[in-house]
């Protein structure tokens, strides 16, 4: 990091908080050196941050001679955010502190096809239940992050058309979720949010990753140079609706024929096992059987991995990522899924692109969606501009 990262601008309290959150500055002298601010200006900015509860001064920092300085630290208990991962058949919600640490968590089976009014009303009810469980008031909530299995509008608040979201097109999630809360709401496509869950995980060492969600549906979140890539209209990563070469002509839920999802997704595997006379109702049932050693389930999941890997070959050759990160319900059976993906990718990708490529499980397991949604909104509410505005409002 440069000695003076703010040499060409006058940093406000929000910029000061960024340095403290990152651990780059742990004392007032650190802040003065990194920002170029006078001791008086540093003290003024810290006063506002301390009063807002965002920064704590405690203990004694490392001394370089003389009286040891007080240590500055970020105070994540200064507020909380709601995070919701709305899946095709399940809702996960979390109440997280300002560091993203989960304070309370709940899960509810709900078909997203029930429509936004039903689903989002239930999400808000779950938020209230989590507040009560954690013993917090609504005044502590700073923002709401939500992920959905479909493309999101440029306003980051409206769902666009997607096969998994009948009745959601053009619907804003904000009125359903805010009610008596005057806080920002950030909406994101599920695969993108899950990729951002790695911000403090794999992205610390892998700056270019392809996050693959293999669950009821299939999709990809692209992180290039630690930045999320959404594409021109936010449709980047719709791997599940790419055509595959098959002879049986299966109809996808989007209405097209032989999409990857129609052969390799969780719902396709459920239909396949039912066609073989097996009693399964959800992709999690297929995974459960595989984990118990059911050879038929293991074989289907491995073949799913092969088909996903076949399409990832083009992604690897085009983008040359450092890692493919695999999440979603099918990733619980990681070994057979990984074996199938590896078999296709390493056989089909250019040697230089695949030689050092790693294929890894997500850092947060089943909490990936909630962690990603929390990271979305935390990036907004703790941005320098948002913190400055918060302090101005008092």
Question: Same domain, yes or no, for 302 and 211?
Answer: yes
pTM of the full predicted structure? 0.90
Domain that holds residue 218: 201-363
* Residue 18: alpha-carbon gap to chain centroid: 21
CA-CA distance, 79 to 327, in Å (whole number)? 29
- Give DSSP secondary structure letters for 159-172: B---TT-TT-TT-B
Average pLDDT over residues 348-359: 96
Q: Which CATH number covers residue 301?
A: 3.30.420.40
| Residue with the larger pLDDT of the pair 5 and 393 | 393
Q: Where are the alpha helices (DSSP H) in the chain?
A: 13-21, 28-35, 39-51, 116-134, 174-178, 190-196, 261-264, 266-275, 283-291, 295-319, 334-348, 351-354, 368-381, 384-393
Question: Same domain, yes or no, for 91 and 188?
Answer: yes
Q: What is the dihedral angle through the alpha carbons of 48, 51, 56, 60, rounded to the nearest 10 degrees?
A: 80
Span 80-108, pLDDT tens digits: 999 999 998 899 999 999 999 999 999 99
- Give DSSP secondary structure letters for 127-174: HHHHHHHHT--GGGEEEEEEEESS-B-TTSSBB---TT-TT-TT-BSH
- Give DSSP secondary structure letters for 241-296: GSB---SS-PBPTTS-BSBTHHHHSHHHHHHHHHHTT----SHHHHHHHHHTT-HH
Q: Evaluate whether residue 163 is within a structural domain.
A: yes
Q: Evaluate whether residue 258 is within a structural domain.
A: yes
Provide the number of structural domains found in the chain: 3
Span 181-237, pLDDT tens digits: 999 999 999 999 999 999 989 999 999 999 999 999 999 999 999 999 999 988 899
């Amino acid at each position: 990091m440069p000695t003076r990262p703010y040499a060409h601008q006058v940093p406000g309290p929000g910029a000061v908080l960024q340095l403290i959150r990152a651990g780059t500055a742990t004392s007032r002298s650190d802040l003065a050196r990194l920002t170029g601010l006078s001791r008086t200006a540093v003290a003024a900015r810290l006063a506002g941050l301390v009063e807002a509860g965002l920064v704590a001064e405690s203990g004694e920092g490392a001394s370089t001679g003389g009286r040891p300085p007080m240590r500055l630290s970020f105070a994540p208990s200064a507020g909380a955010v709601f995070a919701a991962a709305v899946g095709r058949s399940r809702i996960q919600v979390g109440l997280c502190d300002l560091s993203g640490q989960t304070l309370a968590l709940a899960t509810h089976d709900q078909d997203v096809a029930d429509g936004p009014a039903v689903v989002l009303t239930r999400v808000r009810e779950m938020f209230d239940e989590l507040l009560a469980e954690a013993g917090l008031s609504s005044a502590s909530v700073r923002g709401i992050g939500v992920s959905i299995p479909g493309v999101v509008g440029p306003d980051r608040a409206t769902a666009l058309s997607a096969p998994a979201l009948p009745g959601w097109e053009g619907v804003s999630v904000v009125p359903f979720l805010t009610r008596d809360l005057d806080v920002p709401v950030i909406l994101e496509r599920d695969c993108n949010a899950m990729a951002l869950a790695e911000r403090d995980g794999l992205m610390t060492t892998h700056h270019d990753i392809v996050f693959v969600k293999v669950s009821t549906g299939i999709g990809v979140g692209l992180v290039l140079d630690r930045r999320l890539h959404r594409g021109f209209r936010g449709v980047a990563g719709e791997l599940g609706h790419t055509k595959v070469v098959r002879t049986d002509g299966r109809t996808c839920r989007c209405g097209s024929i032989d999409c990857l999802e129609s052969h390799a997704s969780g719902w396709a595997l459920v239909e396949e096992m039912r066609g073989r006379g097996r009693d399964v109702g959800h992709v999690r049932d297929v995974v459960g059987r595989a984990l118990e050693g059911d050879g038929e389930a293991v074989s289907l999941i491995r073949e799913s991995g092969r088909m996903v890997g076949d399409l990832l070959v083009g992604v690897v050759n085009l983008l040359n990522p450092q890692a493919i990160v695999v999440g979603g319900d099918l990733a619980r059976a990681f070994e057979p899924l990984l074996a199938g993906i590896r078999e296709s990718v390493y056989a089909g990708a250019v040697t230089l692109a695949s030689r050092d490529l790693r294929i890894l499980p997500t850092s947060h397991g089943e909490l990936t969606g909630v962690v990603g949604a929390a990271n979305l909104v935390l990036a907004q509410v703790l941005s320098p501009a948002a913190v400055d505005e918060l302090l101005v409002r008092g």
